[in-house]
């Protein structure tokens, strides 16, 4: 059988068994052409026309614009990734419009050209940041590289660069802020928070670290880091921290006085992040809007304020109310008592003249006040002394703010005073304790003929029996010298 016999040719071009009807892809004839010698393995190499076609293709770049980020002091290599770069081509390097290198020869001593035409810059500075481009001649094709050099200072949060950015933390989180400088000289790291210098431990200061443990609302603000290198313009950076936290709820009126048939207002103030919702609860039930109840939301001294308005107060409305506030982080609440009794007295101010002190309290009560009781004691004493005054003046029924004034003379030392009041419905709670400091007076060489000796004052005020001057002096140190100049209750128009 000869090679050109029909049978031989049919066998060479036969299809696999079972696929006689399949269409043979065209590329099979090209890949498996045995009609001639395999040119690819020929020692003479590929045909001349193929070499000429490859060499005739111009150089080009897959990307015409790229970017590189570096920190001060880094060694940076900028590539010139030209495809089809031939021996007859030459690469030029420019920084913006300034020529840096021709071929392998660098014109600027800040740079070095590598064998693959890459440009190397050692120890970059902020001044090296610019647009660099490689131009391949004679075709003039270019690849631009934008080099950005970071600041001389960086702030890292848990290892991430957050310089001049904002970060959001959650209540209870733990975070670590680190301030780093990239300078050849030693720098002194200084932190500040909302404009105030932050004082950290010696180790944290040396490492430029601020540790935020159990993050809460008070950690929100602007943290600034300064790398003091002694220069007129030291490097600095900042990071703004926002904290998401559960509501902080408060009220100035935990006890609200009202009168039957009147309209009562209960309020609570709160701060929260993210935004929160608020509502009132009584006897375990959430109060709904109705003719009886209405809600008013407002802003008050950078707080959100929710006010519950109760119309036509009756005995069944008295009792404890909860102002409940919640957001995605958590919830909080404050308790408010509604009653006919006076509200808890609030200290207004006081004045001291020698041993004489005058104190003023404010009390809210729509009902008439019938009595006020003042407790006072020397610091470290176990028992209170009490002054009770049963005296009231007429007041304007529409105005429920009363002012209580009391004047007394005390021996030198630290004293505590508190007061409570009574109206037709009952007693209020005691006010918070107010501290009174009576200083020692300089001894006088002049004697007032009409003055009562100190020991006589003690005996007169507290019935101390006669005894030696030493006994009287000892008694004076323990018991107060009290001269009640009067306690008055009067209405204030507010």
Q: Band the pLDDT of 71: cuts 50, 70, 90.
A: confident
What letters, b where the CB count within 10 A reaches 16 and e where it falls short, cover 401-432? bbebbbbbbbbebebebbbbbbbebeebbebe
Decide if 28 is inside a domain: no
Residue 478 counted as domain residue: no
188 and 219 co-located in one domain: yes
Which strands, in side-by-side order, build the sheet including 76-78?
76-78, 119-121, 111-113
Categorize the per-residue pLDDT at 47 as very low, low, confident or very high, splitting at 50, 70 and 90: low
Q: Rounded CA gap, 174 and 191, in Å?
A: 18
Do 403 and 374 sit in the same domain of this protein? yes
Say yes or no: 432 and 358 in one domain: yes
Per-residue model confidence (pLDDT) at position 46: 55
CA distances from 393 to 362, 364, 396, 398, 490 (A): 15, 15, 10, 15, 6
Q: Are residues 100 and 157 in the same domain?
A: no
pLDDT category at 77 given cuts 50, 70, 90 is very high
Q: Is residue 52 part of a domain?
A: no
For residue range 333-372, what is the model confidence (pLDDT) as tens digits?
A: 999 999 999 999 999 999 999 999 999 999 999 998 888 9
Per-residue model confidence as pLDDT tens digits over 436-476? 999 987 643 344 444 444 333 232 222 333 333 333 333 33
Give the total number of structural domains in the chain.
4
Residue 26 lies in a domain: no
Burial of 84 (0-12, 13-18, 19+ CB in 10 A): middle
The reply to whether 238 and 257 lie within a common domain is: no
pLDDT of residue 273 exceeding 60, the answer is: yes
Of 489 and 135, the one with more pLDDT: 135
CATH number where 299 lies: 2.60.40.10
Lowest mean pLDDT among 101-105, 139-143, 485-489: 485-489
Q: 393-415, pLDDT tens digit by residue?
A: 544 556 788 888 888 899 999 99
pLDDT of res. 400? 86
pLDDT at 280 over 80: yes
Is pLDDT of 204 > 60?
yes
> Does the pTM exceed 0.75?
no
Same domain, 127 and 161: no
> Same domain, yes or no, for 373 and 430?
yes
Alpha-carbon span 77 to 66, nearest angstrom = 13
pLDDT of the residue at 158:
92
| Residue 55 belongs to some domain of the structure | no
Verify that 397 and 322 share a domain, yes or no. no
User: pLDDT (tens digit, 9 = 90+) per residue, 2-19?
Assistant: 444 444 344 334 444 444
Pick the range with the lowest mean pLDDT from 85-89, 108-112, 444-448: 444-448
Q: What is the edge-to-edge ordering of all strands in the sheet holding 209-212? A: 160-161, 153-157, 175-181, 209-212
The verdict on 275 and 316 lying in the same domain is yes
Q: Which of 478, 445, 483 is nearest to 464 (CA)?
A: 478
220 vs 210: CA distance, rounded Å:
14
Query: What does the pLDDT average to over 289-304?
Result: 93
157 and 132 within one domain: no
pLDDT at 44: 54
| Residue 64 and residue 135 in one domain | yes
Q: Is residue 44 part of a domain?
A: no
Q: What is the pLDDT of residues 208-254, one digit of tens each?
A: 899 999 999 999 999 999 998 888 888 889 999 999 999 999 999 99
Asked whether residue 433 is domain-assigned, the answer is: yes
pLDDT, average across residues 140-167: 88
Question: Left if phi > 0, otherwise alpha if psi is -120 to 50, otherwise beta: which for 378?
Answer: beta
Domain boundary pick from 199, 216, 243: 243
Which of 285, 311, 339 is the last residue before a domain boundary?
Answer: 339
Strand partners, 102: 92, 105
Looking at the structure, tell me whether residues 278 and 320 fall in a common domain.
yes
| Residues spanned by the domain of 134 | 60-149
Question: First vs last Cα of the chain: how many Å apart?
Answer: 127
Looking at 149, 167, 186, the residue that finishes a domain is: 149
| Mean pLDDT value of segment 133-153 | 89
Q: Is residue 475 part of a domain?
A: no
């Amino acid at each position: 059988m000869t090679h050109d016999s029909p049978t031989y040719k049919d066998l060479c071009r036969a299809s696999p068994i079972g696929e006689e009807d399949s269409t043979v892809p065209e590329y099979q004839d090209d890949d498996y052409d045995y009609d001639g010698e395999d040119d690819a393995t020929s020692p003479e190499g590929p045909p001349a026309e193929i070499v000429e076609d490859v060499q005739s293709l111009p150089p080009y770049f897959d990307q015409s614009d790229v970017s590189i980020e570096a920190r001060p002091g880094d060694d940076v290599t900028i590539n010139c990734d030209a495809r089809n770069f031939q021996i007859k081509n030459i690469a030029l390097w420019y920084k913006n419009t300034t020529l840096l290198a021709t071929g392998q020869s660098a014109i600027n001593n800040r740079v070095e050209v590598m064998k693959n035409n890459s440009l190397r810059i050692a120890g970059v500075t902020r001044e090296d940041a610019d647009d660099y481009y490689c131009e391949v001649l004679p075709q003039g094709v270019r690849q631009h590289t934008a080099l950005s050099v970071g600041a001389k200072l960086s702030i890292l949060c848990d290892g991430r660069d957050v310089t001049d950015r904002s970060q959001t933390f959650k209540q209870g989180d733990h975070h670590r802020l680190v301030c780093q400088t990239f300078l050849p000289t030693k720098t002194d790291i200084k932190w500040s928070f909302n404009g105030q210098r932050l004082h950290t431990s010696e180790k944290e200061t040396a490492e430029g670290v601020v540790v935020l443990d159990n993050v809460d609302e008070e950690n929100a603000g602007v943290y600034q880091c300064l790398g003091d290198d002694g220069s007129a313009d030291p490097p600095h950076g900042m990071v703004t921290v926002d904290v998401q936290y559960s509501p902080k709820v408060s009220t100035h009126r935990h006890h609200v006085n009202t009168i039957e048939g009147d309209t009562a207002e209960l309020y609570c103030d709160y701060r929260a992040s993210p935004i929160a919702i608020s509502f009132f609860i009584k006897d375990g039930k959430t109060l709904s809007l109705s003719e009886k109840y209405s809600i008013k939301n407002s802003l008050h001294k950078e707080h959100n304020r929710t006010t519950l308005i109760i119309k036509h107060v009756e005995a069944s409305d008295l009792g404890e109310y909860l102002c409940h506030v919640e957001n995605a982080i958590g919830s909080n609440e404050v308790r408010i008592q509604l009653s006919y009794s006076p509200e808890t007295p609030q200290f207004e101010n006081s004045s001291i003249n020698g041993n004489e002190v005058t104190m003023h309290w404010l009390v809210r009560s729509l009902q008439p006040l019938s009595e006020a009781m003042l407790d006072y004691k020397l610091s470290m004493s176990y028992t209170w002394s009490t002054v009770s005054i049963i005296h009231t003046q007429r007041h304007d029924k529409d105005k429920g703010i009363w002012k209580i004034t009391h004047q007394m003379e005390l021996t030198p030392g630290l004293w505590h005073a508190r007061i409570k009041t009574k109206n037709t419905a009952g007693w209020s709670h005691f006010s918070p304790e107010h501290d009174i400091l009576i200083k020692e007076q300089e001894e006088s060489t002049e004697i007032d003929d009409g003055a009562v000796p100190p020991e006589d004052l003690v005996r007169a005020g507290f019935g101390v029996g006669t005894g030696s001057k030493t006994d009287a002096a000892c008694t004076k140190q323990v018991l107060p010298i009290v001269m009640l100049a009067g306690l008055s209750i009067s209405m204030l128009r507010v």
